[in-house]
A and B are shown apart, each in its own frame.
Chain A
């Protein structure tokens, strides 16, 4: 403390920081990346363990044997679905009622902001069917949900079959203390969103739906099921939800426990679990899984219909049956038994799942990295921005002031020179406002102006939105040529330094907040944006800086992530495919913001893109 309060020593310290600034920045950045890579090695990854007492100590006996019944239901369902071309609502109602559930339907409709070309839908209307198994031991205060999302294609029939067979089996048991809701939704996630909004009687996304007739109290946990074949080779579990939310780790532990008990093969991100963590192979394989999880979480989209439950504080995950050419195959009975076990254990819960971790990263199903251990990685990266560079610029600005004062000789009454300070701040207003306005245009115009665009250009609505998006994004690059005329430059260096200082603080604040709520996104953006942001200045090899800055802009990060994603999945993309995927991802991003309330699009367009433009502005400062 004395070191900082003593002006002389303080100045010495400042000089030291200024001199060592570049090496310290490089060191901090490298430390951040290295820390992240080290997360997959055993001292930092830990074994998962069950924290919830109610689910841990007691074992249950699974008695589900309705494999044939499930297959018969699945065949009937598929046949009825093929005949009607939509969800066979009447058949589902009848079947659910015949197994003894209280059955309700809910119709919903939603006009998307522009046509969704990936799922081929625009004006969506559908019906959800759900049946409630009333628990004899409780007064409908709590419930569990088993849901199957049905899309427009004819997948997931087996999941519906298994759901019905499980419902019939559960109905005969007397131990239920929580109601169980069996939910089949149409138009996959849209239906789930409509049902969830109606269940909680809120309207978040502008969905029109009929009110629910039957409810079953507070939902404690949910499992979404996706099965498209009678036999599966493994069960893949998806945890990443809307805006990078994750379910409580105990739910995942529960799933893993029953996979182990039933000898089911389970995978995470489609990857098998590494067995050997002592040699290098295990951690390297874990790193692949970890990176896949980071990319998925960073995308902020719900990877399965469980992702939408998380907003309502319902712990949920999606189980996906995978059928590949492997030796061991499991039939629906094995999957059903795992589900029965999970539901019986969840039935034991006294409290909401709250014991274990909510913020974690998974290098494998049985290993996790807790928040306390992964946060330093993001911390080191932000240190580059926050402490070193902002500090350096601050001190340089300060020194410049002091330097200006010293030749004057007279120790003035007030320390900073008011006129120069005033000009510095005033010169910042124009670039800040213009870049923020650009961001606003990027957020609003594509969807608003799609009809104008389709009238004047030979493109479809979805294309129009994506192309407008790209056009506005690129137009932002022309910004500095427009602003520097507005900006009066009195003190040449002070202007860009002040702008960069503000931009750095802005970026550090945004990345810090993002890393707290969605670590993956924060870390990914910090890795790419920090070096270019730190280097940007109007002197030196400007072309090189400009290239670096363009390569690390949010859109380029998205493109790069797509390539990395497919590379890690061992299905590399060609350039043309990559570009197509990029355009589709842009459209999906905008759509998901409007349909589910995903925050990635507004975050990038209103927050990070304007901030990135400021650095572009710094680079071309005259």
Chain B
């Protein structure tokens, strides 16, 4: 079965200030992990994680010898003084509603997220160079990520802590078989290692637990003038309400009408406790809308805002303009209540496996969700021969029509020379008396 699986590449740099000495064995290590999860839809999710860990300070030491850590990245990190670099490429979409929360969350498409060292003075310049270099390395058009589609969040919930808890979630007990493939004894003892995974489809009535928070986003309305962006936020927790931070970045060519922003839960208006809105500037920066919304227990909250589709300049249309324009996913960050009987495990040992169980500080765990990206059609001129012909014909018709209309509706009269005013008559009388031709 084909698994719709995001392929995420995550490079974590842990820059500690540990003492080092040359006598020690190599300081870098590689860990691999694979978790195979049968999904209720009949698909199988295979999640791989490759972790290269290297305790080194690339900026200071001028490292020239690389063992496991990719040199291309290492040089990049030291050259641009990066503190953290997150880069993800995703194909497909992870369906949280049916498959539960994924191990590694990433939006569809590419996402680049960088923290520079304090020593970097011109961040814009570094960003531009870095994205260009990265797009070269990964053969992706990352260099198109510029100010028109990036944003700086103002409110950020802290990343998860480093201990995990595990076990019975919502009454369903999970049993896992764990093999340590690095254990040479196991591989040597069995002549060929075949791992067979048999999975029995659960009966219809035994649906897997639905995650407490999931979301859906769509464009409503029809026609090419207006539209509406709607986001549905589901809180399926039976009795607990929790706040969610919703971050929307909308490209400038969808002109948002902020007065139409409505948030309703259970048929009533829901007032967000925090709103940050930064309007778009044409061709410079996108709309940024950030809201902290309280989701009542067991409810669907609908966030909708109307927009008008802008007419672009004809050089601004991308190739294949009739495909439509993408709107990036909205990002949901929340501390979701957990119903977990807890048992702490060392997170460092096998992070992927342990993140099967929500990370928790007791009663909540941190979740970041991405909704699906949207495809919006803008009014698109016909970039073809007939279009040019129509333009030309219309011009000719307009010119001809104007003059014909003029001629047809205007009446022409021959102006008789008028006899003039009193002064002129008097003057003519005098002239006649003088025998001079009149005026």
Question: Contact residues of A with B, CB < 8 Å?
Answer: 1, 4-7, 10, 94, 97, 100, 102, 134-142, 174, 200-202, 214-215, 217-218, 311-313, 350-352, 354-355, 411, 415
B204 within 8 A of A: yes
Instruction: Using known A-B contacts A94-B204, A102-B98, determine if residue A415 contacts B411 with beta carbons closer than 8 Å.
Output: yes
B414 within 8 A of A: yes
16 intermolecular pairs with C-beta atoms under 8 Å apart: A1-B407, A5-B412, A7-B414, A139-B108, A141-B372, A141-B373, A200-B220, A200-B221, A202-B221, A214-B216, A217-B218, A217-B372, A218-B377, A313-B223, A352-B322, A415-B413
B residues within 8 A CB of A215? 216, 218
8 Å CB contacts to A: which residues of B341-385?
A: 372-377, 380, 382, 384
Partner of B374, one of A1, A217, A415: A217
Partner of B413, one of A7, A139, A311: A7
B4 to chain A, nearest CB (A): 5
A residues within 8 A CB of B93? 134, 138-140
A311 vs B408: C-alpha distance when bound (angstroms): 40
B208 within 8 A of A: no
Please tell me if the beta carbons of B375 and A136 are within 8 angstroms of each other in the complex: no
B38 to chain A, nearest CB (A): 13
A residues within 8 A CB of B102? none
A residues within 8 A CB of B380? 354
A355 vs B387: C-alpha distance when bound (angstroms): 11
B240 to chain A, nearest CB (A): 22
Partner of A10, one of B216, B218, B382, B412: B412
B residues within 8 A CB of A312? 222
A399 to chain B, nearest CB (A): 12
- From DSSP, what is the main secondary structure of chain A's interface residues? loop
B42 within 8 A of A: yes
- Inter-chain CB contacts under 8 Å: number: 95
B residues within 8 A CB of A137? 91-92
Please tell me if the beta carbons of A4 and B204 are within 8 angstroms of each other in the complex: no
8 Å CB contacts to A: which residues of B209-237?
A: 216, 218-223, 228, 230
B236 to chain A, nearest CB (A): 12
Please tell me if the beta carbons of A136 and B4 are within 8 angstroms of each other in the complex: yes
Tell me the count of chain B residues lying within 8 A, CB to CB, of chain A. 46
Task: Known pairs A200-B222, A312-B222; list 19 more (Cβ under 8 Å).
Answer: A10-B412, A97-B204, A100-B41, A102-B95, A138-B91, A139-B93, A139-B372, A141-B372, A201-B218, A217-B374, A217-B375, A218-B219, A218-B375, A351-B320, A351-B321, A351-B322, A352-B324, A354-B382, A415-B411
Please tell me if the beta carbons of A350 and B2 are within 8 angstroms of each other in the complex: no
A460 vs B22: C-alpha distance when bound (angstroms): 100
B residues within 8 A CB of A102? 41, 95, 98
Instruction: Using known A-B contacts A4-B408, A312-B222, determine if residue A139 contacts B322 with beta carbons closer than 8 Å.
Output: no
A513 vs B414: C-alpha distance when bound (angstroms): 39
B286 to chain A, nearest CB (A): 18
Nearest A residue to B404, CB-CB: A4
A97 to chain B, nearest CB (A): 7
Please tell me if the beta carbons of A350 and B323 are within 8 angstroms of each other in the complex: yes
A243 to chain B, nearest CB (A): 14
A residues within 8 A CB of B413? 7, 415
B326 within 8 A of A: yes
Please tell me if the beta carbons of B374 and A202 are within 8 angstroms of each other in the complex: no
Nearest A residue to B230, CB-CB: A201
Please tell me if the beta carbons of B218 and A139 are within 8 angstroms of each other in the complex: no
A174 vs B109: C-alpha distance when bound (angstroms): 20
B403 within 8 A of A: yes
8 Å CB contacts to A: which residues of B177-227?
A: 204, 216, 218-223
Nearest A residue to B300, CB-CB: A211
Partner of B324, one of A5, A10, A218: A218
Partner of B373, one of A7, A139, A200, A411: A139
B residues within 8 A CB of A136? 2-4, 92
A residues within 8 A CB of B109? 139
Please tell me if the beta carbons of B416 and A411 are within 8 angstroms of each other in the complex: yes
B368 to chain A, nearest CB (A): 17
A residues within 8 A CB of B408? 4
